[in-house]
């Protein structure tokens, strides 16, 4: 089974790179299809700690984003930005 190339969207070429081999897509070798299914794209998630938006992260799912936000907090709990965060329950992520 073949899938549409995620890099060139099935066209087989990338117009912005016409100066290199006339813009042929290196991922699909100009065919427009690839053998393996492309991975799901990451989404930007806004991380809220005790109701305050501190930063954004990329993750494929909300649970993955929440896990990353928790790990980030656990490794930096003593920083002033996290002074009002007392437990994992104070951490939320929302799709940007």
According to DSSP, the residues that pair with 33 across neighbouring strands are 4
User: CB of 53 within 8 A of CB of 47?
Assistant: yes
pLDDT in the model for residue 41: 80
The reported pTM is 0.62
- Gap between the Cα atoms of 64 and 57, Å rounded: 10
According to DSSP, the residues that pair with 3 across neighbouring strands are 34
Is 90 exceeded by the pLDDT of residue 96? no
Q: Quick one: which of 5, 28, 27, 24 has its CA closest to 14?
A: 24
User: CB of 34 within 8 A of CB of 41?
Assistant: no
Average pLDDT score over residue span 28-34:
94
pLDDT in the model for residue 58: 93
Return the SS3 of 71.
helix
pLDDT in the model for residue 91: 96
pLDDT in the model for residue 24: 95
């Amino acid at each position: 089974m073949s899938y549409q190339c995620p890099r060139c969207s099935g066209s087989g070429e990338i117009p912005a790179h016409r100066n290199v081999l006339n813009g042929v897509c290196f991922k699909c070798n100009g065919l427009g299809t690839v053998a393996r299914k492309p991975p799901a794209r990451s989404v930007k998630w806004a991380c809220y700690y005790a109701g305050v938006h501190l930063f954004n992260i990329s993750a494929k799912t909300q649970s993955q984003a929440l896990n990353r936000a928790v790990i980030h907090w656990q490794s930096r709990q003593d920083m002033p930005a996290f002074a009002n965060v007392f437990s994992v329950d104070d951490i939320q992520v929302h799709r940007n």
